Homo-oligomer: A and B are copies of this chain.
Amino acid sequence: MPTIADLDTPTILIDIDRVEANLQRAQAHADTEGYALRPHTKTHKLPQFAKRQIELGAKGITVQKLGEAEVMADGGIDDIFLPYNIVGEKKLSRLKALNERITLAVTADSPDTISGYARTSTTGKPLTVLVECDTGAGRCGVQTQAQALARQIEIAPGLRFGGLMTYPPKHGVAEANAWFETALELFKQAGITVPTITAGNSPDMWAPGGGPVTERRPGTYIYYDRMQVRDKVASFDDCALTVLATVVSRPTATRVVIDAGSKSLAYDPVAGDLSLGHGLVMGTELVVKSLSEEHGVIEMPVASDWPRVGERLRIIPNHVCVVSNLFDTVTLISGDEIRDSLPVASRGRTD
């Protein structure tokens, strides 16, 4: 059986035992707490893992871009939520074609976006549209006009109102719940049924159930990373994705240079603080202090012969979702043994 010693570097390793444990634990929480789980697959971009998430009980999957949805549909996934405003004639044609193939839902936060959907939809198979709501995160979403948009969707031939969606503020479960409670009251007065309220992110994935939210969309929990550990969602022992790197230079007794830089680990900081570095050396407290494109620099706290040139280190990235997007393939491992190699199917599908 080949092992990770047989791999060239830098490369992504996925510990499938940790993946399975992470998926099961999240699904068990959803089942116990009584919400539907619709995992965000932007993190792994792999139809194989999406299928496993559904097998374990997920209602369907979430993707962030239409290109990702197309790849996941090609990979056999037939229930996809795309919480994004799809804009422009080319994309609307692609959206219509995809809606004819699978169970699909999108979002809108403006009359213009809904008009685009209405223009390209057919009454044969209505397109499900949820209204995106800004419950405090300050990105996309309406702050007060959810009802008017829902009405616009309801009366458009070829569209179906699917409910309300938010990308909630981090640690803002109470804030989002309060927003939705108020909205539900207004919708009730207006006589509009809200089939689904979908929210959720990995940082707040362990929040108890109950409340107005019926569906959650965490993504990072399949692999976890330094950001999630910092948010106390998981421990480093749960982190399933590492970047295998080789020490290529020991210029001083305290400086270690590895062959993974910003083109392998990405520059995304933890907690917005670049001084926290760009990855943790697995099994140690050593941090990748600085990155250039193809070099990562680790400063040792004291002079040390270890690690020597040629030794390999596994790095837990700050943000796994962007790291998945940098590599064409990932290697699945169990312990040190290689079990499979998969193309990152929707890598680069930002379109």
Contact = CB atoms under 8 A, between A and B. Distances in A.
A295 to B, nearest CB: 6
A110 B322 contact: no
A328 interface: yes
A9 interface: yes
A351 B264 CA distance: 10
A101 interface: no
Interface stretch (A50-58, A202-210, A230-238, A249-257): A249-257
A339 interface: no
A85 B264 contact: no
A139 to B, nearest CB: 6
A264 B322 CA distance: 10
A260 interface: yes
Interface range, A side: 35 or more
Contacts of A261: 350
A109 B295 CA distance: 14
Given A113-B249, A139-B295, 7 more contacts: A87-B310, A110-B249, A110-B309, A142-B251, A143-B252, A267-B269, A326-B350
A15 to B, nearest CB: 21
Nearest to A132: B249
A348 B327 contact: yes
B143 A246 contact: no
Interface in A216-264: 246-252, 255, 257, 259-264
